Amino acid sequence: MESSREFNFNAAFLELSRIEELDSLKKSEIVKVAKHYGIEFQPLMRKDEIKRYVLEYLVDESILPSTVLETAITVPTDNTFELKRLEMEMNKEIRLKEMEREREKEEREIQMQREKEAREHEFRLKQLELGS
C-alpha cells in the first residue's frame, strides 16, 4: 500500500509549465511519469538524471516550453559542478595534510636515527677512553 501522499499521474500539472511541480516529486513518482511517456532510462540513474530525460522529452513534444528545460537543467548542473569542485578541493587538502604528516613522520624518524647514532658514537668513545 502506498503512502497517503500517493502520486496520481495527472497531465494537468504538466500544462502548468512550472518546473516546481516536477521538482517536488520523489524519484518513484518521476519514474512513473517517465514510464507513462515511454521514456527509457536506467533504473540506477539518479533522480535528477531521470528528471532531465523527462524534461527533454516534454520539451521535444512541446508539452512544456523550452525555457523550462533551460532553467531546470542549468541550475542543477551549476550546483553539480560547484559540488564537484568543492569535493575535489577538499580531497586535495586531505592529500596535502596526509603528505605533510608523512613528511613530518619521516623527519622525526631521521632525527631519532641521528640521535641514536650520536649516542652510540658517544658510547663507543667512552668505551675507548675507559679501555685505554
Q: Which residue has the cell 502506498?
A: 2
CA dihedral 91, 96, 98, 99 (to 10 degrees): 140
Q: What pLDDT digit, counting tens, does each position of 41-67 carry?
A: 888 888 888 888 888 888 888 877 777
47 and 1: one domain?
yes
Model pLDDT, residue 63: 75
Q: What pLDDT digit, counting tens, does each position of 86-114 carry?
A: 889 999 999 999 999 999 999 999 999 99
Interatomic CA distance for residues 22 and 76, integer angstroms: 14
41 and 96: one domain?
no
* 21 found inside a domain: yes
Q: Which residue has the higher pLDDT, 113 or 7?
A: 113
87 and 49: one domain?
no
Where on the phi/psi map is residue 119: left (φ > 0), alpha (ψ -120 to 50), or beta? alpha
47 and 4: one domain?
yes
- Check: CB of residue 35 under 8 Å from CB of residue 29: no
Instruction: Give the structural domain span for 20.
Output: 1-64
Residue 120 has pLDDT above 90, yes or no: yes
* 71 found inside a domain: no
Q: Which residue has the higher pLDDT, 79 or 77?
A: 79
* Residue from 132, 9, 14, 125 nearest 64 by CA: 14
Q: Tell me the pTM.
A: 0.45
1 and 60: one domain?
yes
3 and 59: one domain?
yes
Residue 23 has pLDDT above 70, yes or no: yes
Q: Which long-range contacts (CB under 8 A, 24 or more apart) does 65-72 make?
A: 65/17, 68/17, 68/18, 68/19, 71/19, 72/19, 72/22, 72/23
